[in-house]
Amino acid sequence: MKTFILREQRHLDNLIAFLTQNWEAMSKTKHPMAVECRQDSVKRSQAANRLYWATLHQIEAQAWVEGRQYPSVVWHEFAKRKFIGVVDLPGQGTMSQSSTGLNTQEFADYIQKVEYWAQSELGVCLVDPSEPIGRMR
């Protein structure tokens, strides 16, 4: 998926160049190009990003798979592949789609899926990072 945010003439020029270069070849395939125009949505907040990474750090600390633990960046890659999807690389192979393209609602849904999966399949006990742990004396 390719997204163009139109704020300046050069952005429009880039869009037109992209369409001109690709529409004809794609029109001859089973999946021709589709163009959607909509208002740009708000990106996720820093607080949502902190919550997501706090969740990944809890997974890192608690999850074991086949006798191994993995760092949060590995869990991030795994979760993106599992819940957002992959794109084909030129030649061969795949890579995960970026979570930065998700709008606020999509990112909230993504976090919820990651949390549910971590708890139900990995046995992770998630704690709200904003809540104090234990009792203060």
Domain with CATH 1.10.3790.10 in the chain: 42-130
d(CA 112, CA 114): 5
Per-residue model confidence (pLDDT) at position 132:
61
d(CA 37, CA 50): 31
Q: Scan for tokens 């997204």, then name that residue.
A: 3
Its pTM stands at 0.66
For domain 42-130, the CATH class is: mainly alpha
User: Between residues 103 and 57, which one has the greater pLDDT?
Assistant: 57
Q: Report DSSP state, residue 65.
A: B
Give Cα separations from 41 to 23, 45, 101, 107 (angstroms): 25, 12, 10, 12
Per-residue model confidence (pLDDT) at position 110:
95
- Residue 39 in this model has a pLDDT that exceeds 80: no
Tokens of 12: 């429009």
d(CA 3, CA 40): 10
- Residue 74 in this model has a pLDDT that exceeds 80: yes
> Which ranges of the chain does DSSP label H, i.e. alpha helix?
9-27, 46-62, 72-83, 104-122
Tokens of 95: 């890579």
